[in-house]
Amino acid sequence: MIWVIIPTYNEELALPNTLKSVFQQMEPFRVIVVDGGSTDRTPDLIRRDSRITSFIAPKGRASQMNAGVHFVNHQQASADDWLMFLHADTLLPPEAFEELHRLRLDPAHQAGGFRHQFSGKDWRLRMISWLDNFRCTRSHIVYGDQAVFVRQGLFKDLGGFPQQPFLEDVAFGEKLLTRTIPRLLPLTVITDARKFIKMGVWRSLLRVLLIILHVEFGLPTLTPAFFQDVR
């Protein structure tokens, strides 16, 4: 079984396409959407689809994703089941779950993610994706927008995502490395580039570079203002 956990907050524009990319996948899987108190049409979109299990949790990806896993833990999930943490603006490749069902049979594979690409053809966005993929092959830390997947039992052993307001994916990735080396699949997920475009592509590129330097070389902690919420 694959348990797909999607944290949402005001994602009415991107969520429909993300859900479409999930529901075309190979079964069995279940979709759990954990909303952080959206004020747009996101809750209506979720409630209208009977295939989705949904509820509300305090806003913040770590809080919302951990709440989704808490639900899974009460569904008699197997320790070998996959937990997939999928951003609401990221599309899965058509063969994603077929590959995960195959990997589930091999206990050597405990966690991983996908190669990343932004929507659109802007070369600067392609550069950001290239940097992200290169960083992942070097550090083996999978970022949240790469559709992180991990065995349910391992996730439980590691205590879930640290309850911090940002870079929870990096912090969890560092914990993962104490137990396994996540596998970067050759398949590619596509993230909607609208937030990076709205923020400004050059500014977004600078943000990515600063995060990489912070993670790789231990530069000073980034301030909350650096992670302003862009919708």
* pLDDT tier, 230 (very low <50, low <70, confident <90, very high otherwise): low
In a domain, 208, yes or no: no
Do the strands 111-118 and 183-191 form a parallel or antiparallel pair, or are they unpaired?
Answer: parallel
The residue that leads in pLDDT, 124 or 216, is: 124
Provide the pLDDT for residue 120.
84
Provide the pLDDT for residue 38.
96
What is the token pair recorded at 62? Answer: 């770590």
Q: What is the pLDDT of residues 111-154, one digit of tens each?
A: 999 999 999 888 888 888 888 898 888 889 898 999 999 999 99
Cα separation, 157 vs 144, whole angstroms: 19
To the nearest whole number, what is the mean pLDDT of the chain? 88
* pLDDT tier, 226 (very low <50, low <70, confident <90, very high otherwise): very low
8 Å CB contact between 22 and 149:
no
In a domain, 227, yes or no: no
Number of domains comprising the chain: 1
The residue that leads in pLDDT, 25 or 222, is: 25
Provide the pLDDT for residue 167.
78
What is the token pair recorded at 77? Answer: 């999930």
In a domain, 71, yes or no: yes
- Angle between the N-to-C axes of helices 61-73 and 168-176, in degrees from 0 to 180, rounded to the nearest 10: 50
In a domain, 92, yes or no: yes
What is the token pair recorded at 96? Answer: 């994603």
Beta strands (DSSP E) in the chain are: 2-8, 29-35, 52-56, 82-85, 90-91, 111-118, 148-151, 183-191
Q: Is 100 helix (H, G, I), strand (E, B) or coil?
A: helix
Cα separation, 95 vs 204, whole angstroms: 30
In a domain, 108, yes or no: yes
8 Å CB contact between 76 and 42:
no
In a domain, 64, yes or no: yes
Q: What is the pLDDT of residues 46-89, one digit of tens each?
A: 999 999 999 999 999 999 999 999 999 999 889 999 999 999 99
Mean pLDDT, residues 85-99 taken together: 97
Q: H helices within 109-151, ranges in order?
A: 123-139
Counting residues of the chain whose pLDDT is more than 90, the rounded percentage is: 68
The CATH number of whichever domain residue 156 belongs to comes to: 3.90.550.10
Beta strands (DSSP E) in 139-202 are: 148-151, 183-191
* Sole residue written with tokens 């952080």: 36
Domain, as residue range, for 39: 2-115+142-189
8 Å CB contact between 87 and 116:
no
- For residue 221, CA distances in Å to 63, 139, 167 come to 21, 19, 11
In a domain, 221, yes or no: no
Mean pLDDT, residues 159-184 taken together: 90
In a domain, 197, yes or no: no
Do the strands 82-85 and 148-151 form a parallel or antiparallel pair, or are they unpaired?
Answer: antiparallel
Statement: residue 223 has pLDDT above 60: no
